[in-house]
Amino acid sequence: MTHARQHRLQVVAHRGASEEAPEHTLAAYRKAIEDGADALECDVRLTADGHLVCVHDRRVNRTSNGRGAVSALELADLAALDFGSWKTRAGAGVRDEEPDWVHRPEDREATSVLTLERLLELVADAGRRVELAIETKHPTRWAGQVEERLLVLLKRFGLDAPPRAEESPVRVMSFSARSLHRVRAASPTLPTVYLMQFVSPRLRDGKLPLGVGIAGPSLRIVRSHPGYVERLKRAGHQVHVWTVNETRDVDLCASLGVDAVITNRPRAVLDHLGRTGRDDL
């Protein structure tokens, strides 16, 4: 653990504190902020009536008590669903005391569908700098509209055009180079992250799609090809690795000079790094 503490890793809460609370819910993001996460990660999809919501899967079947594709449902349809009780049914978070996220009538919002707008409000009210990594999901029936609506919403919060990329509290991530190109064309200073499940031959030397400054390789890539991180860094790119939950992998990323780890367990990772959350910021 010694070498893990020598390098300041940004700890990013993957879908919120998703090991402890239902992913992509207000409860999960509140917990991540409380735990001291440096940044929050979310996936966004567009509803049939044009709202950006934080849902990973194309369909809501896994993470709610409903069925159907997000793109075919309106926000009111999604708001009627329960996005929290599946976590209990799956046997996660079972403990002697009832966890804070368990559905209660007085705080139904905590486990309802979460809009990106509401998440941005939560971050704005956090009382400290909390960054946000927003992933656009693809393929989608709303090609181009996801990025367009995202930038309109970011503009409303004054986040669409930072003076310099390194000053921005928001970054846009995608596995789609085309999606990132749309974002860069509309907002050149907004930082973008190219996510990778594998490394294509044309990018093996550390190159990224034009204009992208941050690489987002999977943990599998980093484990199998640790030298790839060095090539990315030598090319001048930051490296944000997903999804890093085990201490040995945190240590590996730290030893390689990775800039950020995206984790379901922000509190455990911060503890391992010897940080005290909010007191450390």
Mean pLDDT of 262-271: 98
Work out the average pLDDT over 231-241: 98
Was domain 2-280 assigned CATH 3.10.20.600? no
pLDDT at 92 over 60: no
Would you say 182 and 174 are in contact if contact means Cβ atoms under 8 Å apart? no
- Of the listed ranges 5-14, 51-60, 181-190, the least confidently predicted one is 5-14
The answer to whether residue 24 is catalytic is no
Least confident window among 167-181, 228-242, 267-281: 267-281
Asked if residues 144 and 179 have their Cβ atoms less than 8 Å apart, the reply is no
pTM: 0.92
Q: How confident is the model at residue 70 (pLDDT cuts 50, 70, 90)?
A: very high
Is the confidence at residue 1, as pLDDT, over 60? no
User: Which pLDDT score, from 0 to 100, does residue 104 have?
Assistant: 53
Question: pLDDT-derived band of residue 84, with 50, 70 and 90 as boundaries?
Answer: very high
Quick one: average pLDDT of 80-99?
70
Which pLDDT does position 32 carry in this prediction? 98
Mean pLDDT, residues 230-240 taken together: 97
pLDDT at 156 over 60: yes
Confidence class of residue 142 from pLDDT cuts 50, 70 and 90? confident
Band (141; pLDDT cuts 50, 70, 90) = confident
Output the DSSP codes for 44-98: EEE-TTS-EE---SSBSTTTSS--SBGGGS-HHHHHTS-SSHHHHHTTTT--SSP
Q: Which of 14, 24, 51, 237 is catalytic?
A: 14
Q: What is the pLDDT of residues 56-66, one digit of tens each?
A: 999 999 999 99
pLDDT score at 99:
63
262 - beta bridge partners?
A: 12, 242
Please list the residues that pair with 43 across neighbouring strands. Answer: 135
Burial class of residue 75, CB neighbours in 10 A (0-12, 13-18, 19+) = middle
pLDDT on residue 108: 80
The predicted structure's pLDDT at residue 109 = 87
Which pLDDT belongs to residue 93? 47
Is 172 in contact with 178 (CB distance < 8 Å)? no
89-103, 129-143, 243-257: which is most confident: 243-257
In the chain, the percentage of residues whose pLDDT exceeds 90 is 83
Segment 94-139, tens digit of pLDDT: 444 556 655 454 578 899 999 999 999 999 999 999 999 999 997 6
170-174 and 214-217 strand pairing: unpaired
237 catalytic? Reply is no
Question: What is the average per-residue pLDDT within 226-237?
Answer: 97
Task: For residue 89, give both structure tokens.
Answer: 């049914």
Q: Say whether pLDDT at 39 is over 60.
A: yes
Kindly name the residue from 24, 51, 56, 237 that is annotated as catalytic: 56
* pLDDT band at 249; cut points 50, 70, 90: very high
